Amino acid sequence: MKRFSLLSVLLVAIFAISACAPAPTPTATPEPTAIPEPEVLDIVDTAVADGRFTTLAAALGAANLVDTLKGAGPFTVFAPTDDAFAKLPEGTVASLLLPENLEQLTSILLYHVVSGKVMASDVVTLMSADTVQGQPITIKVEDGKVFLNETVEVIITDVEASNGVIHVIDSVLLPPAELLDIVDTAVADGRFTTLAAALTAADLIETLKGEGPFTVFAPTDDAFAKLPEGTVASLLLPENLEQLKSILLYHVVSGKVMAADVVTLTSADTVGGQAITIKVVDGKVFLNDTVEVIITDIEATNGIIHVIDAVLLP
* CATH number, domain containing residue 52: 2.30.180.10
- Mean pLDDT to the nearest integer, 84-99: 91
Tell me whether residue 252 is in a domain.
yes
Tell me whether residue 279 is in a domain.
yes
pLDDT per position as a tens digit, 199-241: 999 999 999 999 999 999 999 999 999 999 999 999 999 999 9
Looking at the predicted structure, is the pLDDT value of residue 48 above 80? yes
> Which of 169, 204, 236 is the last residue in one of the domains?
169
Residues 164 and 49 reside in one and the same domain: yes
Looking at the predicted structure, is the pLDDT value of residue 181 above 60? yes
Q: Which pLDDT score, from 0 to 100, does residue 124 have? A: 86
> Are 164 and 117 within 8 A, CB to CB?
yes
Looking at the predicted structure, is the pLDDT value of residue 16 above 90? no
Flag the least confident range among 16-20, 71-75, 81-85. 16-20
- Mean pLDDT to the nearest integer, 306-312: 97
Residues 47 and 153 reside in one and the same domain: yes
- Mean pLDDT to the nearest integer, 15-33: 56
Looking at the predicted structure, is the pLDDT value of residue 96 above 50? yes
Q: Which pLDDT score, from 0 to 100, does residue 29 have? A: 59
Share of the chain above pLDDT 70, in %: 88
Residues 160 and 68 reside in one and the same domain: yes
- Residue 8's Cβ-count burial label (10 Å; 0-12, 13-18, 19+) is exposed
Q: Which pLDDT score, from 0 to 100, does residue 41 have? A: 87
Distance CA 231, CA 225 (A): 9
Backbone φ and ψ for 73, nearest 5 degrees, come out as 65, -140
Which range marks the domain in which residue 66 is found? 43-169
- Mean pLDDT to the nearest integer, 259-287: 94
Looking at the predicted structure, is the pLDDT value of residue 91 above 80? yes
Mean pLDDT of the chain: 88
Distance CA 247, CA 291 (A): 14
The domain total for the chain is 2
Distance CA 180, CA 175 (A): 15
Tell me whether residue 5 is in a domain.
no
Residues 188 and 163 reside in one and the same domain: no
Looking at the predicted structure, is the pLDDT value of residue 22 above 60? no
Residues 126 and 198 reside in one and the same domain: no
Q: What's the half-sphere exposure (Cβ side, CA atoms, 13 Å) at 225?
A: 6
Looking at the predicted structure, is the pLDDT value of residue 11 above 90? no
CA neighbor of 309 nearest in space, from 289, 293, 298 = 293
Residues 256 and 202 reside in one and the same domain: yes
Residues 160 and 270 reside in one and the same domain: no
pTM for the whole structure? 0.57
Q: Which pLDDT score, from 0 to 100, does residue 179 have? A: 83
CA neighbor of 72 nearest in space, from 47, 42, 50 = 42
Higher pLDDT, 191 or 35: 191
Residues 93 and 199 reside in one and the same domain: no
Looking at the predicted structure, is the pLDDT value of residue 253 above 90? yes
> Which of 169, 201, 229 is the last residue in one of the domains?
169
Q: Which pLDDT score, from 0 to 100, does residue 308 have? A: 97
139's enclosing H/E stretch is strand 136-142
Tell me whether residue 83 is in a domain.
yes
Residues 201 and 293 reside in one and the same domain: yes
Q: Which pLDDT score, from 0 to 100, does residue 111 have? A: 95
> Which of 169, 193, 225 is the last residue in one of the domains?
169
Tell me whether residue 216 is in a domain.
yes
Residues 135 and 206 reside in one and the same domain: no
Residues 216 and 247 reside in one and the same domain: yes
Tell me whether residue 140 is in a domain.
yes
66's enclosing H/E stretch is helix 66-69
Looking at the predicted structure, is the pLDDT value of residue 9 above 50? no
Higher pLDDT, 2 or 170: 170
pLDDT band at 51 (very low <50, low <70, confident <90, very high): confident
Tell me whether residue 30 is in a domain.
no
Share of the chain above pLDDT 90, in %: 74
pLDDT band at 302 (very low <50, low <70, confident <90, very high): very high
Higher pLDDT, 37 or 301: 301
Q: Which pLDDT score, from 0 to 100, does residue 2 have? A: 47
Residues 98 and 196 reside in one and the same domain: no
Tell me whether residue 20 is in a domain.
no
Q: Which pLDDT score, from 0 to 100, does residue 37 have? A: 57
pLDDT band at 123 (very low <50, low <70, confident <90, very high): confident
Q: Which pLDDT score, from 0 to 100, does residue 178 have? A: 78
Looking at the predicted structure, is the pLDDT value of residue 1 above 50? no
Distance CA 68, CA 257 (A): 43
